[in-house]
């Protein structure tokens, strides 16, 4: 900046109070003297410790050891407005008028000191101290929202006419035309169709997570109708197994867990209702937009539309299910951490945006300023989480049955039996009370003793020795009592901190409700909960909204508006993200490979036009997930074989363009369910609730034996209890989604612990033996026929002649241990079945 005539400076300083490239003012002698005498020592004494270069600290981004420091100000803006004490943050802070902005934090300045600073600011804050701008922390938001809107993901999906590939006969529908066209551009051809056995295995697993029955395979192979495959697909879509498979995909995204995890891992007694709700929603083909609205604002919707009220209330479990640090005593921290979980889960699951990066600073890559984060935070700050649990240090202990949703009006007030713990607690409380009463009485008596004796005269006085003895006795007992009270108190607190006794029973659910008062949130500078900046009106992400800010009426949190905004057809992401997730599960990889991240750091779509096409048709089709899946699996693309082609591999080794079907690995649930199913043990009915319901409201680690017992049962894996930190071994071993985080795409690892599980775990042995028994029990089967059936059950195909002979040889050469009561034929067959459960082919879908 050019040097300016000095005279102009004070005026300019006011105009450009955020610019600090000015030179230090030339002060009058009087001003200088005032500053040196009254201001500099005061600032040095009370402020430099946290706001100076020398101390190496600029709390809140503020330096007070140079003129530039206060002119530029900290995260909340310039500290001083020259000439206007009433508009200066510094003066506001030192006058302790705002609870959230009190400086110095430990002790208020004296009245005379406040007066001096106020006077100084009114004088125009004459300051001789030089200092350069270079010391300043980075400036505030520089995000250009309008420019941000140009990013592909933030533009609305466009209608694209399906292209016309030169091969006019291959495509069955639009999906195929998009895929084929991009293959042709690279001079690639789609693979041949998969054979029917492969295809029915693929689609049965993809849609239900279970293997096809041999009869189903045969009937498909023999079905000459041109609609044979459609028949299969429609049967699978109508099966109850469908929701159990696709519901679980959603539960991965909803970071579904039946305990708090983290510091004190307490059970969520009623989390399972949300699980069942999700499964039912997919089975009923609930339109995806409705599904989302219920999860974000079901409680509010239920008030307006009482039909399906129960479902809608349970749906809000989505917002309550996060992991929680129950040991957090700082309520503000607890609140903001839970809000962060809600924002992170909602935005990543529905929008595939990492909004929670903006909690501490503007998003580094996407056009999401911190302001937007706190606009959303306000919505959740106006929402109360009903998880049935309190954090530590709150009245009433951890167990909080009042913080649950009562699903029916006739719900009993906590029908739980009184537990042993509760009885003990009560006894301890009574004991403590007794001790305290005795202590009070003794103290009173002691006081009276002293008083009485001084009042009485002469011979009426009790002999001094006796008094002394009595006094001594009282004192001794009081000392003892003090100790006892202390100990009883401590024991009681210990007990209380351990938990709250038995689990509540009754018609309850987890979820959320609007807080009594709706509030706007305030920016927490650098994410520090006590470091509050400006208040932000509730709202959504600017980059995904028009100029008009949403209106939040009266005392509602704004979740209803949020739900409407998320599911509006104007929102460019919601439909795209869901069709991409669906594609990911069916084709082994998303069109946008980073399924939970559509932002700058995510990947770009391999087939952008196809993605838009799918998103728009999904919306037009009333957000029907079943129809979406149906369209995808009935495509010719889905029916391709996964066979290798060297020439194609040379051009596109990663198969990004889909010249063949991608091979997929069975996930942990499918693996377990398949073995159970083939072994004839799978219990297809849905269990009532979850074993977690029986756990006391206490740290799970303390009732571990009981908790472990809960892991038994032959239900489908989706019904296994998912307690955080205690995920069942088979799920953990085979890349289950970590239940504390949004996980749209599971890892696929290959490690020896998985092989060990398959080789040695008693579960696998049991299912192998079960299968062998089934094969043995079939009347009149030869060993060759048994082998044939085993292959069909496990691998959905008949063995080749070579394989059949090899298997027969294997059975023959099996040398049994010949233990008492053992059946060598059965053992041999079990060992063969075990081999079939262990081979890679069993775990892979071609």
Partner 1 sequence: MNRTPESYSPEINDLLSRRSLLQTASCGFGYMALMGMCGEAAARDDTYKNPLAVRPSHFNPSAKRVIFLFMQGGPPQVDTFDYKPQLQKNGGKKVGNGTLMPSPFKFNRAGKSGLQISEAFPNLAKHADDLCLLNGMHTTNPAHPQATILAHTGSINFVRPSVGSWVLYGLGTENNDLPGFITINPPNRLGGAQNYGSAFLPACFQGTPIGGQGASSLPNLYNRELTSAQQRKQLDLVQKMNRELRERSGVNDELDGVIESFELAFRMQGKVPEVMDIKNESQKTLANYGIGRGKASDAFGKQCLMARRFAENGVRYIEVHHGGWDLHNGLKARLTKNAASTDAPIAGLLSDLKERGMLKDTLVVWGGEFGRTPAGQSAKGDGRRHNNRGYSMWMAGGGIRGGMRYGATDEFGDTAIKGKIHIHDLHATMLHQLGLDHEKLTYKYAGRDFRLTDVYGNVVKEILT
Eight-state DSSP code of residue 765:
H
**In contact, 340 and 349? CB cutoff 8 Å:** no
Closest distance of CB 339 from partner 1, Å = 12
Binding-site size, partner 1 (CB under 8 A): 95
265 or 281: CB nearest partner 1: 265
Q: Which residues from 456-515 bind partner 1, rule CB under 8 A?
A: none
State the minimum distance, in angstroms, from the CB of residue 599 to partner 1. Answer: 5
Is the separation of the CB atoms in 327 and 263 below 8 Å? yes
Q: What is the DSSP string of 470-516?
A: HHHHHHHHHHHHHHHHHHHHHHHHHHHHHB--SPP-SSEE-EEEE-S
Radius of gyration of the chain (CA): 35
Among 56, 752, 780, 821, binds partner 1 (CB under 8 A): 752
Which DSSP helix (H) or strand (E) runs through 187? none
Judged by DSSP in three states, 576 sits in helix
Phi, psi values for residue 760, rounded to 5°: -125, -15
Of residues 766 through 825, those in contact with partner 1 by CB under 8 A are 803, 806, 810, 813-815, 817
Where does this chain touch partner 1 (CB under 8 A) — which range of 110-118, 293-301, 306-314, 592-600?
592-600
Residue 725 lies near partner 1 (rule: CB under 8 A): yes
Among 729, 781, 798, 824, binds partner 1 (CB under 8 A): 729
The site map against partner 1 for 535-574 (x = CB under 8 A) is ----------------------------------------
- Exposure string over 482-509, b if 16+ CB within 10 A, otherwise e: eebbeebeeebeeebebbbbbbbbbbbb
Give the footprint of partner 1 on residues 260-279 (CB under 8 A): 261-265
Structure tokens at 561: 């508006």
Q: Which of 280, 489, 754, 784 binds partner 1 (CB under 8 A)?
A: 754
> What count of Cα atoms within 13 Å lies in the side-chain half-sphere of residue 428?
19
Other beta carbons within 10 Å of 159: 9
- Which of 684, 761, 784, 804 binds partner 1 (CB under 8 A)? It is 761
Peptide bond into 248 cis (omega under 30): no
Shortest Å, Cβ 646 to partner 1: 7
Which parts of 618-647 interact with partner 1 (CB under 8 A)?
642-646
Beta bridge partners of 514: 383
To partner 1, the closest distance from the beta carbon of 794 in angstroms equals 11
- Exactly one of 740, 773, 784, 808 binds partner 1 (CB under 8 A); that residue is 740
Candidates 78-86, 136-144, 275-283, 589-597; binding stretch for partner 1 (CB under 8 A) = 589-597
79 vs 544, beta carbon nearer partner 1: 544
Residues 328-347 that bind partner 1 (CB under 8 A): 328-329, 333, 337, 340, 344
Neighbours of 596 (CB within 10 A): 24
Q: Which one of 444-452, 548-556, 564-572, 737-745 is the stretch in contact with partner 1 (CB under 8 A)?
A: 737-745
Burial 389-424 (b: 16+ CB within 10 A, else e): bbbbeeeebbbbbebbbbbeeeeeeeebeebebeee
409 binds partner 1 (CB under 8 A): no
Binding residue (CB under 8 A) for partner 1 from 390, 738, 783, 788: 738
| Nearest by Cα to 163 from 656, 608, 604, 640 | 608
Please give the residues from 294 up to 323 whose contact with partner 1 meets the rule CB under 8 A: 323
Give the nearer residue to partner 1 in terms of CB position, either 38 or 732: 732
C-alpha span between 743 and 399 (Å, rounded): 29
CA atoms of 107 and 531, how far apart (whole Å): 17
Nearer to partner 1, 33 or 756 (CB): 756
Q: Distance (Å, rounded) from C-alpha 213 to C-alpha 211?
A: 6
- Kind and range of the H or E run holding 531: none
| Site of tokens 């596109």 | 652
Rule CB under 8 A: which of 337-396 touch partner 1? 337, 340, 344, 348, 354, 356-357, 364-366
Choose between 344 and 673: whose C-beta lies nearer to partner 1.
344
Q: Is 189 in the site for partner 1 (CB under 8 A)?
A: no
Q: Which of residues 619 and 846 has its CB atom nearest to partner 1 in the complex?
A: 846
- Nearest-CA neighbor of 481 among 522, 457, 505, 445? 445
Helix (H, G, I), strand (E, B) or coil at 606: coil
> By CB under 8 A, what part of segment 640-679 binds partner 1?
642-646, 649, 653-656, 662-663, 665
Q: Please report how the helices 420-455 and 464-498 are oriented relative to each other, as an axis angle in degrees rounded to 10.
A: 160
- The contact pattern for partner 1, residues 694-723, with x = CB under 8 A and - = no contact, is -----xxxx-x-------------------
Q: Which tokens sit at 723?
A: 């307690």
Min separation Cβ 350 and partner 1, Å: 14
Q: What residues numbered 39-98 form the site for partner 1, per CB under 8 A?
A: none
Q: In whole angstroms, how close is the CB of 337 to partner 1 at the nearest point?
A: 5
């Amino acid at each position: 900046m050019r040097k300016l005539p000095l005279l102009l400076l004070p005026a300019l300083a006011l105009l450009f109070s955020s610019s600090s490239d000015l030179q230090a003012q030339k002060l009058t002698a009087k001003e200088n003297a005032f500053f040196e005498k009254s201001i500099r020592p005061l600032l040095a004494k009370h402020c430099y410790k946290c706001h100076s270069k020398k101390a190496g600290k600029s709390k809140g981004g503020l330096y007070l050891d140079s003129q530039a420091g206060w002119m530029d100000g900290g995260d909340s803006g310039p500290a001083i407005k020259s000439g206007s004490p009433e508009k200066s943050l510094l003066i506001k802070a030192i006058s302790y008028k705002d609870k959230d902005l009190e400086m110095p934090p430990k002790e208020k300045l004296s009245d005379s000191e406040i007066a001096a600073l106020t006077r100084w600011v009114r004088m125009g804050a004459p300051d001789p101290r030089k200092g350069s701008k270079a010391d300043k922390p980075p400036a505030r938001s520089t995000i250009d929202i309008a420019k941000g809107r140009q990013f592909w993901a933030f533009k609305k999906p466009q209608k694209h006419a399906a292209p016309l590939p030169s091969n006019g006969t291959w495509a069955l529908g639009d999906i195929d035309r998009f895929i084929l066209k991009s293959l042709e551009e690279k001079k690639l051809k789609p693979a041949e169709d998969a054979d029917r056995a492969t295809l029915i295995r693929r689609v049965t697993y993809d849609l239900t997570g279970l293997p096809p029955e041999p009869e189903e395979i045969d009937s498909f192979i023999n079905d000459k109708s041109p609609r044979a495959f459609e028949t299969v697909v429609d049967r699978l879509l109508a099966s109850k197994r469908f929701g159990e498979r696709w519901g679980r995909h959603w539960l991965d995204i909803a970071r579904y867990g039946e305990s708090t995890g983290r510091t004190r891992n307490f059970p969520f007694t009623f989390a399972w209702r949300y699980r069942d709700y999700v499964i039912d929603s997919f089975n009923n083909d609930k339109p995806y937009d409705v599904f989302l609205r219920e999860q974000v604002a079901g409680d509010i919707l239920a008030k307006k539309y009482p039909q399906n009220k129960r479902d809608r209330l349970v749906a809000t479990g989505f917002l309550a299910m996060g992991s929680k640090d129950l040991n957090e005593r700082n309520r503000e921290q607890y609140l903001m951490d839970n809000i962060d979980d809600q924002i992170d889960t909602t935005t990543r699951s529905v929008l595939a945006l990492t909004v929670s990066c903006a909690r501490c600073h503007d998003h580094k890559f996407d056009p999401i300023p911190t302001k937007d984060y706190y606009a959303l935070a306000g919505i959740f700050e106006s929402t109360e989480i009903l998880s049935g649990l309190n954090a530590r240090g709150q009245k009433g202990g951890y167990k909080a049955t009042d913080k649950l949703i009562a699903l029916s009006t006739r719900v009993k007030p906590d029908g739980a039996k009184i537990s042993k713990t509760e009885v003990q607690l009560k006894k301890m409380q009574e004991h403590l009370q007794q001790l305290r009463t005795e202590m009070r009485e003794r103290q009173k008596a002691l006081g009276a003793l002293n008083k009485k004796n001084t009042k009485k005269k002469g011979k009426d006085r009790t002999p001094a020795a006796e008094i002394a003895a009595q006094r001594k006795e009282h004192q001794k007992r009081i000392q003892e009592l003090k100790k006892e009270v202390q100990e009883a108190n401590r024991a009681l607190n210990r007990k209380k901190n351990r938990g709250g006794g038995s689990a509540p029973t009754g018609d309850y659910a987890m979820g959320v409700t609007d807080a009594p008062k709706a509030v706007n949130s305030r920016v927490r500078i650098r994410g520090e909960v006590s470091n509050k900046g400006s208040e932000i009106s509730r709202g959504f992400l600017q980059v995904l909204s028009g100029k008009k800010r949403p209106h939040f009426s009266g005392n509602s949190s704004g979740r209803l508006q949020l739900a409407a905004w998320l599911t509006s057809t104007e929102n460019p992401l919601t439909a795209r993200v869901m069709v991409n997730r669906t594609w990911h599960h069916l084709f082994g990889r998303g069109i946008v490979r980073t399924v939970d991240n559509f932002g700058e750091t995510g990947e770009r779509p391999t087939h952008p036009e196809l993605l838009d096409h799918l998103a728009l048709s999904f919306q037009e089709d009333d957000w029907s997930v079943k129809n979406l899946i149906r369209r995808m699996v009935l495509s010719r693309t889905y029916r391709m074989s996964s066979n290798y082609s060297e020439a194609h591999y040379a051009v596109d080794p990663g198969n990004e363009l889909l010249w063949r079907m991608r091979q997929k690995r069975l996930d942990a649930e499918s693996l377990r369910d398949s073995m159970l199913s083939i072994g004839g043990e799978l219990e297809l009915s849905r269990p009532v609730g979850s074993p977690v319901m029986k756990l006391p409201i206490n740290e799970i680690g303390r009732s571990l034996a009981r908790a472990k017992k809960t892991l038994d049962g032959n239900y489908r894996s989706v019904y296994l209890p998912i307690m955080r930190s205690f995920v069942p071994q088979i799920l953990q071993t085979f890349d289950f989604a970590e239940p504390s985080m949004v996980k749209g795409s599971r890892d696929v690892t290959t490690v020896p612990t998985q092989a060990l599980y398959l080789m040695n775990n008693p579960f696998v042995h049991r299912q192998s033996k079960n299968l062998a028994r089934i094969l043995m029990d079939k009347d009149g089967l030869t060993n060759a026929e048994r082998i044939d059936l085993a292959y069909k059950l496990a691998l959905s195909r008949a063995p080749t002649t070579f394989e059949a002979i090899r298997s027969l040889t294997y059975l023959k050469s099996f040398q049994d241990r010949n233990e008492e009561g053992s059946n060598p034929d059965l053992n041999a067959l079990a060992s063969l079945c075990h081999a079939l459960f262990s081979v890679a082919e069993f775990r892979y879908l071609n």
